[in-house]
Structure 1
Amino acid sequence: MINSNPAPAKLHGRNKHLQGYDLKRLEKANPNLKAFTFVNDFGKETIDFADPKAVFELNKGLLKADYKLKFWEIAPNSLCPAIPGRADYMHYIADLLAQDNNGQIPYGKKISVLDIGTGSNLVYPIIGAQEYEWNFVGTDIDANSIHFAEVNIARNIWLKKKIQVRLQTDRSKIFSQIIQPNEKYSVVVCNPPFYKSREDNWKSSTKKFQTLNKNKDKATVQNFAGHPNELWCEGGEQAFISKMIYESKDFQQQLGWVTTLVASKEHLKPLIAILEYHKAARIEIIPMQQGQKISRILAWKWQ
């Protein structure tokens, strides 16, 4: 049986960012942000969301102000995710776990989370550890991202007991060589690479940049950056999640819920078909919305 709820009109009810950004407060947490704030034509203080440096400093301010970080840096040109949307994922995962816990959200180290493609930013582990005190293992195929992630952990003492990271040396695998024989995970989270190629990514980035930027002659800049492995893979999002489904079946004794973001609604039907064909015990589709952006979480359990 597939459970799916209607799309929410706004961020999750427990999201710290429901009321928008208090830039004055964020500037106190991250003074570097002040250089990128300005008052727009409507008399509201804001930033240029087409400027990757401004977006980075905004997210850094959010992590320092709301998630108790003392230090946060990411690898050059790596993905700088929007914190409110990433926080929503963690809150919906908490609700999902509550289904198997008599309706109560489980807190603490008894919940072990595997983050596939954690990147240098470590955003899911940081938010999940801070909000719910869960333990995380973050994986990535990029050694430089792992290095920066380890620096972020080392520079924030409270993260050391909550988060560890592992390098996936076999780029053709997702769970193999990462999940150890004695390990079990309550839930897997993932923000998969969406695009099929560099060209596919650049077409989308150009369209988005021109929407955000009034100067149409200005050269395209990705406001969120991103390494190749974070943005595209052969076959794109659908192929990556399909592989994730097949591999997760091999580790079903060690995995509880397996979840992933699905950016394209059109990808849901073929992915669900695979899960149903292989008799997944439970399938959930959890819609999310941040402003005009609508996405969803696909979740499944084999047992």
Structure 2
Amino acid sequence: MTEKSALHPRNLHRDPYDFEQLISCVPELKHYVFVNAYQSVTINFSLPKAVKLLNKALLLHFYKVQDWDIPEGNLCPPIPGRADYIHYIADLIGEKNPQNSDIKGLDIGTGANLVYPLIAHRSYGWKMTGTDINDNSLKNAEYILSQNPDLLPFIHLKKQPEPEHIFKNIIDKEDRFVFSMCNPPFHDSEESAMKGNFRKTKNLKKSTVKKPLLNFGGQQSELWCEGGELAFITNMIRESALYSSQVLWFTCLVSKKENLSKLTFLLKKIKAVDFRIIEMSQGQKISRILAWTFVDLNKHKDWFLKSKI
């Protein structure tokens, strides 16, 4: 069995999908499974319903998440890539806290899918706060938690009432988070988002596609914002300086490599003590985690100790 070797060593999805096992979790998935031209069992990743059912099965089988579901049109993220982000954060914070105990994380833009908090808690037992600007997304995330009552003490949701802000209204004076994480809006317009997905869908199907289809879904706030990825992360970095003593590691995904030079220049300008660029690779997609801290590295261990008080 060939491993998806680019994934993190602790990622539970390194092996090819065992569809027999996954179908036993979600029987409806069988209607979307087929043998492709390379004699591999797979699904049609260009179909939103197929992707959603695969996610439902993966979350149930690997993470014991019951009755996961999202409304039509919401972002349906690929689970292996989301898990990778969590594992690389564990490596980052494990440098000074190898037990990874008593960790509180903040997920900016958790969406209707709630995937990052679900995987983070099931994988490491972390406590998570998920934020969003969309009421319907938070309502669905609440539904997922209601179907998994054992998660209620560990995953909390918070509405961001001002979309132009990221940490304001979310981080209270007494809050201390070991990390924040975010999968930011990538595109700068709805048209750009549709064109990007059109190209991706054509690559998946290896054929002519006449109509753009958001196979992984996505609401406006999940896919695009004014200025795109660069503007969003720039705003995040500037605002993070105001909460420099309340979050140990700020992190964010960066899809466009060309944005890194501007972002790291800004981090130096606002006097971040340290920053890291962590590369991740899932299939054809390469992305990066940009991580930065305002706390001297020699004081990170003390920071963990104070967080337990």
| Corresponding residue SS for 2:88 | helix
Give % identity: 46
* TM-score (structure 1 length as normaliser): 0.94
Q: How does 1:9-20 map to 2 (within 5 A)?
A: 10-20=6-16
Residue 137 of structure 2 corresponds to residue 145 of structure 1: yes
The answer as to whether partners of 2:105 and 2:179 remain within 8 angstroms in 1 is yes
Partner of 1:47: 43
Query: Match for 2:87 among 77, 91, 96?
Result: 91
Greater RCO structure (CA 8 Å; 6+ sep): 1
Q: How does 1:244-263 map to 2 (within 5 A)?
A: 244-263=236-255
Give 1:75 deviation, angstroms. Answer: 2.7
The answer as to whether partners of 1:95 and 1:105 remain within 8 angstroms in 2 is no
The answer as to whether partners of 1:97 and 1:105 remain within 8 angstroms in 2 is no
Unaligned regions of 5+ residues in structure 2, if any?
296-309
The answer as to whether partners of 2:67 and 2:147 remain within 8 angstroms in 1 is yes
Per-residue CA deviation, residues 42-98 of structure 1 (Å, 9 max, x unaligned), is: 322210011111011111110000000111111320000000000000000000001
Matching residue's letter, 1:119: G
Give 1:217 deviation, angstroms. Answer: 4.6
Per-residue CA deviation, residues 174-214 of structure 1 (Å, 9 max, x unaligned), is: 11111111111000000000000011112211111222224
Per-residue CA deviation, residues 225-262 of structure 1 (Å, 9 max, x unaligned), is: 10000000010001000100011100112111000000
Structure 1: distance between partners of 2:238 and 2:210: 43
Structure 2: distance between partners of 1:19 and 1:105: 27
- RMSD of equivalent CA atoms: 1.2
Distance change (3 Å), C-alpha of 1:217 and 1:246: closer
The worse-fitting range, judged by mean Cα deviation, of 154-163 and 208-217 is 208-217
Q: How does 1:72-87 map to 2 (within 5 A)?
A: 72-87=68-83
Partner of 1:5: none
Partner of 1:202: 194
Structure 2: distance between partners of 1:214 and 1:252: 47
Give 1:215 deviation, angstroms. Answer: 4.1
Q: How does 1:55-204 map to 2 (within 5 A)?
A: 55-101=51-97, 104-107=98-101, 110-204=102-196
| Corresponding residue SS for 1:164 | strand
* TM-score (structure 2 length as normaliser): 0.92
Residue 280 of structure 2 corresponds to residue 288 of structure 1: yes
| Corresponding residue SS for 2:226 | coil
| Number of residue pairs the alignment of both structures matches | 292
Q: Which runs of 4+ in 1 moved over 3 A?
A: none
Matching residue's letter, 2:153: K
Structure 1: distance between partners of 2:200 and 2:167: 33
Per-residue CA deviation, residues 245-293 of structure 1 (Å, 9 max, x unaligned), is: 0111001121110000000100100000000011101101100001121
Unaligned regions of 5+ residues in structure 1, if any?
1-7
| Corresponding residue SS for 2:184 | coil
